[in-house]
């Protein structure tokens, strides 16, 4: 494994990697693992293989409130939204087999881009017009999401 993750939050690739390769027989090579920092919720990792770029989401360690950090629910929500709202990542796999990484998790496609935060990456230089376009684009995406027919998408219950 190459890449970076907080020591106490590293993924057990010796169990996860063979499982992933059983799901995708064409998956080759070693994963470069990067844990995304920030946030106070689910742990998110990038698994970059030579020919496939994946995101793994899992609940954090420790005590959780009932109903919180439900990876199955998050996976089902993405699966229901994807056909009607193409901006969500493609959800690929869900597993509740805790022998793999110690908790339930799901795998989804990685979408290239930046997460707008207070401080953008150095390589992203936006003038006032660019900031305006970014904000309007984010608003348009939220408007489109709110226009999704939740009943037709199977999200009514």
Are 11 and 51 in the same domain?
A: yes
Same domain, 21 and 94: yes
2-47 pLDDT, tens digit per residue, is: 557 776 788 999 999 999 999 999 999 999 999 987 666 889 999 9
- Number of structural domains (the chain) is 2
| Domain end residue (candidates: 97, 112, 127) | 112
Same domain, 103 and 125: no
Extract the tokens encoding 40: 């106070």
Decide: residue 152, CB within 10 A, 0-12 exposed, 13-18 middle, 19+ buried.
exposed
> Are 98 and 32 members of one domain?
yes
What sections of the chain are H helices per DSSP?
Answer: 13-23, 71-81, 98-101, 128-146
Read off the CATH number of the domain in which 42 is found: 3.30.200.20
pLDDT tens for each residue of 56-91: 999 888 766 667 789 999 999 999 999 999 999 999
């Amino acid at each position: 494994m190459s890449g970076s993750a907080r020591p106490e939050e590293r993924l057990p690739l010796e169990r996860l990697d063979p499982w992933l390769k059983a799901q995708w027989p064409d998956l080759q090579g070693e994963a470069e693992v990067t844990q995304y920092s920030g946030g106070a919720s689910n742990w998110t990792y990038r698994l970059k293989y030579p020919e496939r770029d994946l995101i793994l989401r899992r609940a954090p360690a420790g005590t959780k409130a009932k109903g919180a950090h439900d990876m199955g629910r998050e996976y089902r929500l993405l699966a229901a939204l994807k056909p009607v709202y193409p901006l969500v990542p493609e959800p690929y796999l869900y597993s509740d087999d805790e022998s793999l990484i110690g908790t339930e998790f799901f795998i989804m496609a990685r979408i290239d881009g930046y997460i707008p935060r207070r401080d953008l990456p150095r390589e992203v230089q936006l003038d006032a017009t660019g900031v305006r376009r970014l904000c309007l684009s984010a608003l348009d995406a939220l408007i489109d999401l709110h226009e999704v027919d939740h009943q037709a998408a199977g999200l009514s219950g």
